[in-house]
Amino acid sequence: MAFLKCDNVTVQYPVLDARSLSLRNRIVNLGTGGVLEKEAGSAIIITALKNISFELNDGDILGLVGHNGSGKTTLLKTLAGIFEPDVGSVIRNGEVATLLDIGTGIEGDLNGYENIYRIGLLRGFDRRKIEAALPEIEEFTDLGGYLSLPTRTYSAGMKTRLAFAIATMTRPDILLIDEVFAAGDANFQEKARRRVEEQLISAKIILLASHSNDLIRLFCNKCMLLDKGLIRSFGETEDVLEQYQKGA
């Protein structure tokens, strides 16, 4: 059984050498969406997430909504284990796969195939598992001979297709997705949508951060509204989206 729990999670980071605090405070709050918590010498501490608590179980598909800087990406990275909470804990039960920063981990001097093996091995997959996934990745990316070329020759859309295919080469228990549907052309977005629908069959828990309310409605049975690192609303998708649209 897959399980994901946030227990009173707070994530903070320092902004060093903030000499002109009155001006810097305004810039920080506007630019990051975080909250100024305290000052320590020449540093100020920004709280990106504060007192985040929720739990998800098999069958939960959670949509994350909120304005830029609200904490959506920070939350996904904390759930993935990329960030460690300063306070609280994250409990995971099940294999986790992420599709966060498109292209992260793709090495430009390596070709597509080499990147597939490299990232797959870094994620703990054995070579047989990667080899078994290759035909599906080739079909999904539709990159043909480009898979044998260095990825620095790829367009942004080509990198997106490769990154998405690698991230979904297996069927994880928990899948974390950040705005991937905003990337690529219409054909890719349709293929990505179908791919996620396939993931729904096997992935027990999915979190999807998006600025598209239509996508949240299409996929998610639960929704969370974040604002300046705080949970403003959590519950049924339509109820939360209505609150979000009202500017709450």
Residue 201, amino acid:
I
CB 200, CB 122: distance < 8 Å: no
Report pLDDT for 36: 58
Superfamily designation of domain 95-203:
P-loop containing nucleotide triphosphate hydrolases (3.40.50.300)
Domain-by-domain residue ranges, the chain?
A: 1-54+67-93+223-248, 95-203
Look at strands 230-235 and 222-227 and give their pairing.
antiparallel
Mean pLDDT by 10 residues, the chain (248 residues): 94 69 51 56 81 95 94 95 95 86 80 94 86 93 95 88 83 83 68 74 85 88 96 96 86
Cα 246 → chain centroid: 25
At 30 the pLDDT is 47
Q: Output the pLDDT for position 31.
A: 47
Q: Give residue 248's pLDDT.
A: 54
User: What CA–CA distance (Å, rounded) separates 111 from 151?
Assistant: 5
* Type of residue numbered 84: E
Burial of residue 95, with CB atoms counted within 10 A of its CB: 0-12 exposed, 13-18 middle, 19 or more buried: middle
What's the CA gap between 73 and 103, in Å, rounded? 15
